[in-house]
Every structure is written in C-alpha cells, then in structure tokens.
Amino acid sequence: MVGNRPMSTAEKPKESLAEALQRVYPELEAVRETAAEPVYLVGGAVRDLLMGRGRADIDIVVEGDAAALASRLGADVVSHERFATAKVSLDGHEVDIATARTESYPHPGALPVVETAPLVEADLARRDFTINAMAIPLGEEADLIDPHAGQADLAAGLLRVLHPRSFADDPTRAVRAARYAARFGFGLEPETEVLLREADLGTVSVDRREAELLRLAGEAEAPQAFALLAEWGLVDLREGGAQLVADAAGLLQSSPWSEFAPRDRALVAAALGPGGGEEALAEARPRRPSEAVALASGRNPIELVLARALGAEWLDSYLSEWRQVALEIDGEALIAAGIPQGPAIGRGLDEALRRKLDGEIAGRDQELDVALEVARDGDGVA
C-alpha cells in the first residue's frame, strides 16, 4: 500500500537552484555563454527565485566591464559610463548589467561615491538587506553566494541590515523596509528595528524620498506599508490617514475610479497629504447634477479620489455620467443666430448645459432656445 501512494508535493524531488534559474530565466543562458569574466544574477531576482515567486526584474553583476559585456550580447545597448551600467534586451526581457562596485557615503543621506570593485562580494556588501544581498553565479556551478546569511533570514521572514550605519548612510532603506515587510509579511530583526527607528528621512533629498514613497505606494499592500512607516516613527500620517489610504486603495480597484488617477500619487497624498480641497468637497451636498458639476469640474483627479474615499458618493455619478454631458450646440450656432461674439455666448451655453444636466431640456432645439434667450437677455438685446 505504502508504495502505491501518490507522491505528495513535499516528496517531489526538490528543484535545484540551477534548474529553477534555467526554468524562470532561460534567456540568461546567453549571458553565461557570452561573458568573458564571472557574471552573477543578484538582488531581488535571486530573493524571489529562492521564495519561488517567479519572474522579477533582472539585475546582473559582472566582475569586469558591463558595457563591453552588454555590447557583446547584441543590439539595443544603453550604457552609462559614469555608473558602469548598461541595459540590454534578451528575448524581450530587459536586463540591467552593472560592473561590480562599492559605495561610500560622504555624509548621511548623501548620494554615494561609487567605485568599481574586483569581486561580487564587495557589491553585495553595499546592499540594503541580507535577503537582497545574495548572488547566483551564471557559470557551471549555480551555487548560491550568500555572505550575509540572507537565505536564513528569508526562511525566518526577517529584514536585517548588513551593518549598523546602513540607515544613517541611506535612510531611504527604511522606506524600502516597510515596502518589503508589507509585501512579504516579514518582520524586522530586533537590532535592525532599533537602528531603523533612529533613521531620519530628513537627511535625504525630497526627490529621493518621494521616489521611494511612490514605489511603496505602488505595492498591492500599500496601506499596510504606510501603517508600518507610521508605527516605526518615520512619517506622520495625516489625520485619518491610515483609514483614508485603505479606503482610497479600495476605491481605485474598481471602475470608474481605477483609471482616473495615478494610484501611487493618490495613496501618498491620502497617507501624508498635503490635503487639497477634498475635505470641503466631501462635506458638500449638491442637490442637482449641475451643482455637482460646478463643485467638481476642473479639480485635480487626486482631490476627487480622496473626496470620494472620504464619503462623497455623488462623485460616482459625476465621474461616470455628468462629467461627460455636453451640448449639441456650440458658440458658432449662437453667432449664426445673430449673437455678437462676447461673454453673452458663454453665458448662454452655460445655462443650456445647466438645464440639460438637470434634465429640464433635451435635444438641439431646446438647447438653442435656452442659450439664445439667455444670451439675448444678457446683452440687453430684445
């Protein structure tokens, strides 16, 4: 009986790292065959491969000239000499290639001074967390290079920095920690948590801070990630921000809102502000479609998303219906009927649109009647 049991998943022969690499990234065979110097898959792709998460962005490190390897790999090379990096496309997949390098920070939060390094280990030592500081050689032996015990932290679900100055050098790593913690459900290793709570995002430029916050907001688990940032004392959420970011994220999952505003920017604004006119808009109670249009038109889409997340349900109809309402007539029709060019034309069209929105008139003829009446009145023409 025992011999007849179907094989359970646990009993299936485990796929080796080399096999997983070949299955998920078959295009890397070309890199292996082409490279004259040792080359490695590094960073998030290694982490995700070990987690069985499938494809990720491909980062390659070469212990040699990245641009030379890229041009040997073929066409479509974009290289940046200053950073010794290059991009190539392999079988339709973008591959980032970098010469192994070290970084040093002239002062906390500064952009690093980058120097090339002879070995991949030096390149791994400049990275943010142990789970991102592993490499797989693309040579004969695909044995994991894991100098900081990232595989053990991956198994334990822990984010751990590589050295105590990590967050002081680059506080954006604290934002990255919230992003990974929310995405993977990981925790902070205790000493890392102490260091992270001392991090000061104020030492980095506004642009870098914003770029990392937008990446965090781009995660499916953005609400949890913002909550972690606040819990760790790195940001102050706006009043009601935790709830607002969760409500806005929910809203942006379905139409008509999902296509309306950039999700990442909307969620950063929901969590951190600055608040626009959304609160006043959420308190408004328009009684007619025309009032709703007057309140909402011309506003920033993010303001509308946040006002809706704060409870302004009428904005659903504004977005899917009233916003699209247009007249069949235009100014030319009024001019043809004898109205001179000037503000009376706008007044006539505005009133026709208002009545159309509120269902008081329909069709071209009625629109023209209303617009002419108002335009003539306004001009004092009999």
Q: Which residues bind ligand ATP (CB under 6 A)?
A: 43-44, 56-57, 59, 127-128, 132, 170, 172-173
Name the residue number minimizing CB distance to ligand ATP.
Answer: 44
Q: Minimum distance between the CB of residue 112 and ligand ATP, rounded to whole angstroms?
A: 9
Q: Minimum distance between the CB of residue 370 and ligand ATP, rounded to whole angstroms?
A: 56
**167 vs 257, beta carbon nearer ligand ATP:** 167
**58 vs 339, beta carbon nearer ligand ATP:** 58
For tokens 């977005």, name the residue: 319
Question: What is the C-alpha separation between 255 and 260, in angstroms, rounded?
Answer: 9
Q: Minimum distance between the CB of residue 141 and ligand ATP, rounded to whole angstroms?
A: 22
Question: What is the C-alpha separation between 126 and 355, in angstroms, rounded?
Answer: 65
Helices (H) and strands (E) in the chain, counts: 20, 10
N-term to C-term CA, the chain? 102
| C-beta separation of 298 from 323 below 8 A | no
Q: Minimum distance between the CB of residue 39 and ligand ATP, rounded to whole angstroms?
A: 16
**120 vs 292, beta carbon nearer ligand ATP:** 120
Beta strand segments in 131-243, E: 135-137, 158-159, 187-188
| C-beta separation of 50 from 34 below 8 A | no
Q: Minimum distance between the CB of residue 259 and ligand ATP, rounded to whole angstroms?
A: 24
Q: Minimum distance between the CB of residue 261 and ligand ATP, rounded to whole angstroms?
A: 22
CA-CA-CA-CA torsion sign (7, 9, 11, 17): positive
**173 vs 263, beta carbon nearer ligand ATP:** 173
| C-beta separation of 334 from 376 below 8 A | no
**48 vs 358, beta carbon nearer ligand ATP:** 48
Q: Minimum distance between the CB of residue 132 and ligand ATP, rounded to whole angstroms?
A: 3
**150 vs 223, beta carbon nearer ligand ATP:** 150
Distances (CA, A) of 122 to 33, 48, 67, 106, 118: 24, 21, 20, 18, 8
For tokens 């925790």, name the residue: 187
Question: What is the C-alpha separation between 124 and 93, in angstroms, rounded?
Answer: 23
**199 vs 271, beta carbon nearer ligand ATP:** 199
Q: Minimum distance between the CB of residue 305 and ligand ATP, rounded to whole angstroms?
A: 24
For tokens 């004392």, name the residue: 233
**172 vs 290, beta carbon nearer ligand ATP:** 172
For the chain, give percent helix, strand, coil, nearest 5: 50, 10, 35
Backbone φ, ψ for residue 113 (5° rounding): -90, 125
